[in-house]
A = this chain, B = another copy of it.
Amino acid sequence: MQLVNIKVQQKANLFLVLFAVLVAVYLHYQHQKSDQRHQPNGHAHPKNPTTATLNNANTNMFNNFLSPDPALPVPSSSEIEAEERVFNKSVRAFNKYATHSLAAIAKKRKDYNSARTNLRNLVPKTELDSGKDVFEKRLEDVESCIKRNQEVVRSMVVAMGADPDSLDVPQGRRVAGRPNPDSVVMDGDMDKVRSTLRQFVRDWSAEGAAERHDTYSPIMETLERIYSHLPISERGGITVLVPGAGLGRLAFDIVRQGFTTQGNEFSFYMLIASNFVLNSMKTPNSFTIYPWVHSFSNMQNAEHQLRSVQIPDIAPGGIPETADFSMVAGDFLEVYGGYKERGAWDVLVSCYFIDTAKNIFEYLGVIWNALKPGGVWINHGPLLYHFEGMKNEMSIELNLEEVKAVAKNMGFIFEEERMIPSTYTSNENSMLKYIYNCAFWVARKPSL
């Protein structure tokens, strides 16, 4: 039995989604016959919306912070083509992972061999293979790990229904005489594939348990506290939105506690990977990845670099029948910025998410809009604004005090505020670690 259905569904009236963004990954484990709950030509919204959320008269509660014209236009064919190019480029980046990564190792071997022999002879020989030294052996082992990673990466592409052998780089429409950047796989795209491997450790491995504890537990504990009066089997009417869902573990943990949960994710890399883990992984520890092989810096020994990680730590099943689980692809502002999403959600959980905004004001407005009166916003994360310093992108970087002040002036009542140290896809063995001092808060939109 397939764990989760994947649907491609036209929703242009609701948000500016184009072909590939339309790959809305509806995950309804044990709910495959419940499609009637999703509007066929509309956005998959939680079941049982309360009538309170449809109160158009209450403009202060909803419309105030929405952009003037949330009814977005139907995408043109050229826009759809552009989205197809971006999706296909992501697929090609996955497909080129091994080729690209092995080329980097080949360069390292060339550099190594260019060192003077009398110095290289100081590197210890391997015991079993007397002709090689331990560095040469390490390069070979890294190459083997890359090839094994590629097998997993290929499975992801196949699970997405895409072509795992497309390696060509069509130039697409040329922009200002240059190849369309949507069409050419760049180093940055390959970084995203490697980053995806590390995300598996964070979300779906035993090694990631400590990081998940630091990051997800405060959120889960808050949900349990707020809804302690409801047994898991009676939480299906409580709707939780998780924008920036990544590989889906947090959303999955939430739905397992009985809440009807929807993840939202913009990145095709994340969507391809989350589809894989949620749809294709039937048993724990069924896949092996080598997430740390690519970085040769700050390594104490070969074992740290070559360390394998088993995924998933748990099979992504066991969702209560009373809860609904969906994943929606697309830009947060476009998907949830419209009138139809007004007051649709009891809880919005933003975890390492709000700093992905180009315009943090618009994020806050959509968060406010999407919540029901009395709804709860749980935030956890740093303020590493993703677009800061990018020349051709807008970026507004409010500091933490300012973000909270704007939210409070919108009307949010802050019930809890604290700082929590945590890490993000951290390699516990690296000689360099990134420690985030995250802002955690629980804020409530007033009741009507």
The residues of A with any CB-CB pair to B shorter than 8 Å are 64-65, 67, 104, 107-108, 111-112, 114-116, 118-120, 122-124, 134-135, 138, 295-302, 304-305, 355, 359, 361-362, 364-365, 382-385, 388-389, 391, 394-402, 405-406, 409-410, 430-439
Contact = CB atoms under 8 A, between A and B. Distances in A.
**Among A67, A401, A409, which residue has the most Cβ atoms of chain B within 10 A?**
A401
A383 B436 contact: no
A124 B364 CA distance: 15
A427 to B, nearest CB: 11
> Quick one: copies of this chain in the complex?
2
A305 B399 CA distance: 9
B115 A383 contact: no
A398 B431 contact: no
Given A297-B383, A400-B431, 11 more contacts: A65-B118, A107-B391, A119-B365, A124-B409, A135-B402, A297-B388, A299-B383, A299-B397, A430-B437, A431-B437, A433-B437
Nearest to A390: B107
Given A119-B365, A397-B297, A435 B432 contact: yes
A298 B433 contact: no
A384 B124 contact: no
B382 A431 contact: yes
B355 A297 contact: yes
A116 B299 contact: no
Given A64-B118, A119-B365, A434 B433 contact: yes
Given A297-B355, A437-B433, A119 B305 contact: no
A104 B397 CA distance: 13
Nearest to A429: B437
Contacts of A405: 122-124, 134
A389 B104 contact: yes
Contact of A297 (B119, B359, B384, B435): B384
A362 B119 contact: yes
Contacts of A355: 297
Contact of A301 (B114, B122, B399, B434): B399
Nearest to A411: B122
A427 B191 CA distance: 27
26 contacts: A64-B118, A108-B396, A111-B359, A115-B359, A115-B396, A119-B361, A119-B364, A124-B405, A134-B402, A135-B402, A296-B397, A297-B382, A297-B383, A297-B397, A298-B436, A299-B400, A301-B399, A304-B399, A383-B431, A384-B431, A400-B431, A431-B436, A432-B435, A433-B434, A434-B435, A435-B435
A288 B296 CA distance: 39
A435 B434 CA distance: 6
Contact of A439 (B112, B362, B431, B435): B431
A254 to B, nearest CB: 25
Contacts of A296: 385, 388, 397, 399
B400 A301 contact: yes
A285 B124 CA distance: 51
A122 B431 contact: no
